[in-house]
Amino acid sequence: MIKSTFELEQELKKKGYQIVVGIDEAGRGPLAGPVVAAAAVPRNLEFLISNFQSNSNDPISKKLDLIRDSKKLSGKQRDGIFDFIQDQFYVGVGICDQETIDRINILEATYLAAKMAVSDLVRKMKEDSGRKHEESRIMILFDGNKLIPNFSHEQRAIVGGDRIAKSISAASIVAKVTRDRIMLEAHEKYPQYGFAAHKGYGTKLHMEMIEKYGPSPIHRQSFEPMPTLAKRRKE
C-alpha cells in the first residue's frame, strides 16, 4: 500500500515556501448536500516528520500512519483520527451548499469551497500566531489534475495527492468527516431518504426514495434525476 509522507512539504519548505497547504474536497458526486473542501498545514512539520519516521509503536506515530487517502479508511478510522488532525494541523474548511452548486455548477462550487477553506485556514493561523501571512510564500497543493482558477496563491495540482502528501491526506479526512456529519444531520431532518447510509450518493435505495418522495430541499436540482422528475411533473 502506498502511504503518503511529508516529503513534498519538506522539499517545498527547503525551497523557501513558509506555508505549504494541502487541499482536498468531499462531495462532488452526490445528488444531495454540499461540497466541502478542507485545507491543512502542519503546526510543527519537524515534529511530525520525526515522529512519522520513527516507525515506533507510540500513539502519535500510529496516528500519523493513519493519515492517508480518506477513501482507504473506514468511517470509524476517519472519526478516530479527526481530532488528532485538528490538534496537529491548522485546518480551514469551506462549504458550498446545494443551491450554490445548482447556481454555478459543481466544479466552480468546488473551487469556491477550496478558496473559502484557504481563507478560513489563514485566518485561524493569524489568530493563533498573531502574524499576518500576506507576505509569506505560500504553496497550495490541490488534489486533482486542475489548478484553482483566479487564485492569488502559487499552486500545484497533484494527481492522487491524498496518497502522496500528508497535508492533502489530512485535508481529505477533514473534508470527508465534515461532510458526513452534515449528511447525518440531514438524515435526522429527512429520514425517508436514508442519508445516514449513503450520504447523498446515487445508490439504488437513494434513487428509489427520490422516485417515491420527490427531491428534498437539499437535493441538487441540476443533478439527474431531479431535472427529469421536474419535467415529468410539468407534463
pLDDT value of residue 133: 58
pLDDT value of residue 100: 98
Cβ atoms 155, 142 nearer than 8 A: yes
Neighbours of 3 (CB within 10 A): 16
pLDDT value of residue 132: 61
Mean pLDDT of 39-52: 94
230 pLDDT exceeds 90? no
CA 80 to chain centre: 16
pLDDT value of residue 131: 65
Residue 225: is the preceding peptide bond cis (ω within 30°)?
A: yes
Mean pLDDT of 122-130: 85
Annotate 187-198 with DSSP letters as a single string.
Answer: HHH-GGG-HHHH
1 pLDDT exceeds 60? no
pLDDT value of residue 157: 97
| CATH number of this structure's domain 7-234 | 3.30.420.10
pLDDT value of residue 174: 98
Q: Where are the domains of the chain?
A: 7-234
Cβ atoms 168, 143 nearer than 8 A: yes
Mean pLDDT of 125-147: 83
pLDDT value of residue 52: 87
For 113-126, b/e burial (b = at least 16 CB within 10 A) is bbbbbbebbbebbe
Mean pLDDT of 24-35: 97
The burial class, CB within 10 Å (0-12 / 13-18 / 19+), for 105 is: exposed
Query: Any bridge partners for residue 24, and if so which?
Result: 38
Structure confidence at residue 92 as a pLDDT band (50, 70, 90): very high
Residue appearing with cell numbers 445548482: 102
Q: How far apart are CA 29 and CA 52, in angstroms?
A: 33
Q: How far apart are CA 90 and CA 96, in angstroms?
A: 21
Q: What is the pLDDT of residues 171-217, one digit of tens each?
A: 999 999 999 999 999 999 999 999 999 999 999 999 999 999 999 99
150 vs 69, more confident: 150
Structure confidence at residue 128 as a pLDDT band (50, 70, 90): confident
Mean pLDDT of 125-138: 76
Annotate 51-108 with DSSP letters as a single string.
Answer: HHHT---SHHHHHHHH-S-GGGS-HHHHHHHHHHHHHHEEEEEEEE-HHHHHHH-HHH
Q: How many residues does the chain have?
A: 235
134 pLDDT exceeds 70? no
Q: What is the pLDDT of residues 4-27, one digit of tens each?
A: 999 999 999 999 999 999 999 999
Cβ atoms 81, 73 nearer than 8 A: yes
